[in-house]
Amino acid sequence: MNIASAISAFFRPRTWKLGLKSLVLHPMRSGLTVLGIFFGVVSVIWLLAIGEGISREAQARIEDLGAENVIVRSIKPPDSGGATSTRTVDSFGVTRAEKELIETTIPTIGRVLPIREVQQRFAYNGNPNSKPVDGRLVGCTNGYAEVTRLFVDRGRFLSSVEVNGSKSVCVIAANLANRLFPSEDPLGKQIYVQDKKEFFKIVGVLKPRNASAAIGGSLAAQDFSLDVYIPITTMRQRMGDLEINRSNGSFVVKSFELTQITIQVAEVDDVKRTAKLVEATLKAGKIDRQDIAIVVPFELLEQAEFTRIVFMVFMGFIAAVSLLVGGIGIMNIMLATVTERTREIGIRRALGAKRSDIVLQFLVETISLSVIGGIMGILVGLLCPLAIELLKSITASSAPEMYASLPGDITDMRPVIVPFSIPLAFCISVAVGVFFGLYPAYRAAQMDPIEALRHE
- Do residue 109 and residue 163 come from a single domain? yes
How confident is the model over 249-263, as a mean pLDDT?
Answer: 80
For residue 12, pLDDT beyond 80: no
- Give Dmax over CA atoms of the chain in angstroms: 105
Whether 445 and 339 map to the same domain: the answer is yes
DSSP per residue over 33-75, as a string?
HHHHHHHHHHHHHHHHHHHHHHHHHHHHHHHTT-TTEEEEEE-
Say yes or no to pLDDT of 384 above 90: no
279 lies in some domain: no
The answer to whether 249 and 85 have CB atoms below 8 angstroms apart is: yes
Q: How far apart are CA 57 and CA 413, in angstroms?
A: 6
Top mean pLDDT of 75-84, 437-446, 447-456 is at 437-446
- pLDDT tens digits for 55-78? 777 777 666 667 788 889 888 776
Beta-carbon-side half-sphere exposure of residue 302 (alpha carbons within 13 Å): 8
**Do 174 and 262 fall within a single domain?**
yes
Sheet architecture: strand order including 250-255: 86-88, 250-255, 242-247
Q: Indicate whether 81 and 48 sit together in one domain.
A: no
Shared-domain flag, residues 417 and 441: yes
Amino acid 207: pLDDT: 92
Pick the more confident residue, 422 or 20. 422
Look up the domain containing 252 and give its range. Answer: 69-266
Q: Do 81 and 161 belong to one domain?
A: yes
Q: Does residue 294 lie within any of the structural domains?
A: no
- Which residues contact residue 140 at a Cβ distance below 8 angstroms, ignoring those fewer than 6 apart? 113, 114, 115, 116, 158, 229, 230, 231, 232
CA distance 74 to 40: 50
Query: What pLDDT shows up at residue 456?
Result: 54
307 and 437, same structural domain? yes
**Domains in the chain, number:** 2
In a domain, 213, yes or no: yes
For residue range 110-147, what is the model confidence (pLDDT) as tens digits? 889 999 998 899 998 765 566 889 999 999 999 888 88
Residues 53 and 75 grouped into a single domain: no
Residue 295 falls inside a structural domain: no
Instruction: Assess whether 371 and 350 both reside in one domain.
Output: yes
Q: Give CA–CA dist 241/258, Å, rounded.
A: 8
Looking at every residue in the chain, the average pLDDT score rounds to 79
Same domain, 353 and 233: no
Residue 332 lies in a domain: yes
User: What stretch of H or E contains 93?
Assistant: none
- Give the pLDDT score at 453: 63
In-domain check, residue 189: yes
Instruction: Give domain status of residue 334, yes or no.
Output: yes
Alpha carbon distance 120, 257 (integer Å): 17
Both 240 and 317 in one domain: the answer is: no
Same domain, 328 and 406: yes
